[in-house]
Structure 1
Amino acid sequence: MSLPAGLFIILAVAASWAGWWLLAAVVLAGCLAWVARRSTPRGRVGELLAAVREWLLFVVSVTVPAAYLASAPTSVGTAEVAYLAVVAGVVLVAVAADALGANSSDRTSRWPVVLFGVAAAAFVAVCLAIPPAPQPITDSDPFSPFGLLVATTVVLPWLMGLDPVRLAVGTVAALAVGAAALYQLGPIRLGLSVTSLRDVLAAADAAALTSMLIAVAALAGLTSAVGCAGRLRQAGERLTGGGNTGRWSGAALVAVGGAAIWAAVLGPVSAVLLAGAVALTEVVHGLTGRRRRG
């Protein structure tokens, strides 16, 4: 489940486009993910779109630990070097962990979900326990249909592929964390930086918990990267017809290397937006395919 890692980035990106309408975007993304689960047909195009989406989620997942660790006070002065080092380290660990069978057992995917659920509950509790910081004075926060659409597509790929129970839980968790962050920072400050969740704790007079937040972000990004790496390997096996060998092909390794370069050079925002566009294309492709079959 990649959603915990995505929340460290996508909430800020979505808030920069939709403001308070970020919360409506989460609900719409959950509905679209449910539609996609029921309507997306199997086929070459569907498999290719899913593989591209997983590749982009891998890019973003790799950048989460790098962005939060490199922005820590101990990294000042060597932020770029620290960012590149963390990106390379996460990619290598993700590929090695999948090759060693980290994605072969359901147990390895359960305990991170429980941990991140506890962390999300603690984050929401801290935000609600303390009155919010003063908000910047603005003339208005008008509704923008285009901004709502962009914010919805930003959240959508992180909810796709989940079973109904996990989809419902993930949507509620994203709503709770997003509402708590908006309550403390407001949409303007939340959308200023991809790592603005760090500022939420400072605004809530809980700066001492920043190190814990960074550790959770690093673990969430690494866990998501391992899962995405496994799904990328499997997608490569399906697209090439090589069978489920559990081994990394040359094409899959090249794809992972390209993801590392993207993460190191372009950062997460472009990957987040493109992943949303691909996910929305998947939904449209699924609906049109279902209509043709009907």
Structure 2
Amino acid sequence: MRLGGGLLVALAAAAAGAGWWLLAGLVLAAIAAGVTARVPEPGDAQVDRVVVAVARLAEVTVYAIAFGAYVFPAHRELAAAAFAVVVTGAGFAGLKIPTIVVRIAGVLLLLAGLVLVVVCVAVPPVGRADGLQPPDFAGVLVAAVLMLPFLRPGGREGAGRRVLFLAAVAVLAAFAALYQLGAVRLGLSLTSLRDLLSAADADSLQPLLTVVAVVATVVPALAAGAGVRARAGVPGLAGIAVAAVAAYFLPALPVLVVAGLVTVIELLLGVRARRYSEQRE
């Protein structure tokens, strides 16, 4: 479920820096997610707990920004801050969505994504102002960092297959968006997926995109709120307040960068925890 909420804003941010090489960044992020799929969670040291809590809060802020931009565009900042407090706070308080509901929602999001891809590829783009430029390795690396948090699987059972599946979905969605809008136009708008439907002459699907945005942000934000409580305890409430302030004042790009970098640190701490466990054995 992370992927759906992340793609709402991360595709535009990554395309702004990498252009068509966003696809290479996605592949790089998928490789990193696959290689580290079986890395355990960081340990219970104070630094480990703080890093994991910050990683979940950064993801929450991304979902909040996406929710505000797609669902309440006229009051984007206020809606984003309220989302961070209400939805993440509910997850922190222990509200859980039944597993079967989460799975059904995941299937519906997948179907909606496939419909979007088919519509965008089937309708020829009106024009394309940009093409494939020489590779910008820094842009590719940044794109990979931005996408990494949302390509990581939720568990380690069958993690490799799930990473491969998530990567395929992300690449298809990115290709459809780049094909229909071009990299420049895709990278210009926070709500570029709405522009994508308009460009594909599919404005009738805009209400469906709103529903997708709600489901794709609320479900992972609830889970992230539970993760903050597990790692930070009551002080995590202060973190939720910080996330709300960040969602209100900050644009998506710096929040995505923080989420990506903290995810890298989280993975490194997981590697350290595994080595420590192996040494003890």
TM-score, normalized by the shorter chain, greater than 0.5 = yes
Matches within 5 A, 1:112-191: 112-137=105-130, 141-163=133-155, 164=159, 165-191=161-187
Q: Structure 1 residue 265: deviation in Å?
A: 0.9
Residue of structure 2 equivalent to 1:32: 32
Which secondary structure state, in structure 1, belongs to the residue aligned with residue 188 of structure 2? coil
Cα distance in 2, alignment partners of residues 277 and 95 from structure 1? 21
- Aligned counterparts, 1:174-253, within 5 A: 174-237=170-233, 249=234, 251-253=235-237
TM-score by length of 2: 0.87
The answer (yes or no) to whether the contact 1:124–1:180 under 8 Å persists in 2 is yes
Q: CA deviation at 1:198?
A: 0.9
Q: Match for residue 16 of structure 2?
A: 16
What stretches of structure 1 of length at least 5 have no aligned partner?
Answer: 72-78, 238-248
TM superposition score normalised by structure 1: 0.84
How many residues in Structure 1 have an aligned counterpart in Structure 2? Answer: 272
Residue 135 of structure 1 aligns to a residue in which SS? Answer: coil
Give the equivalent residue in structure 2 for 1:272.
256
Q: Which residue of 1 aligns with 2:61?
A: 59
Asked if the contact 2:42–2:266 (Cα under 8 Å) also holds between the matched residues in 1, the reply is no
Give the percent of matched residue pairs that are identical in Structure 1 and Structure 2.
Answer: 35
Give yes or no for contact 1:63–1:87 (8 Å, CA) kept in 2: yes
Question: Relative to 1, partners in 2 of residues 1:125 and 1:34: Cα closer, same or farther, differing over 3 Å?
Answer: same
Q: Where does the alignment leave 5 or more consecutive residues of structure 2 unmatched?
A: none
User: Which whole-Å CA distance do the structure 2 matches of 1:224 and 1:152 have between them?
Assistant: 20
Q: Cα distance, 1:99 vs. partner?
A: 5.8
CA–CA separation in structure 2 for the residues paired with 1:153 and 1:52:
16
In structure 2, relative to structure 1, the CA distance for the partners of 1:119 and 1:223 (3 Å cut) is same
CA 289–220 in structure 1, closer or farther in 2 if over 3 Å, else same: closer
User: C-alpha separation between the residues in 2 aligned to 1:104 and 1:213?
Assistant: 21
**1:109 aligned residue (102, 126, 129):** 102
**AA matched with 1:124:** V
Matched residue type, 2:184: I
Aligned-partner residue type, residue 51 of structure 1: A
> Which amino acid counterpart does residue 50 of structure 1 have in structure 2?
V
How much has 1:153 moved relative to structure 2? 0.3
Cα shift readout 1:84-139 (whole Å, capped 9, x = no counterpart): 3322442343145436643264224212211111110110111111112201157x
1:288, distance to aligned residue in structure 2 (A): 6.0
1:273 offset after TM fit, Å? 1.0
Seen in structure 2, the aligned counterparts of structure 1 residues 68 and 233 have a Cα distance that, compared at 3 Å, is same
Alpha-carbon shift at residue 283 of structure 1 (Å):
3.5
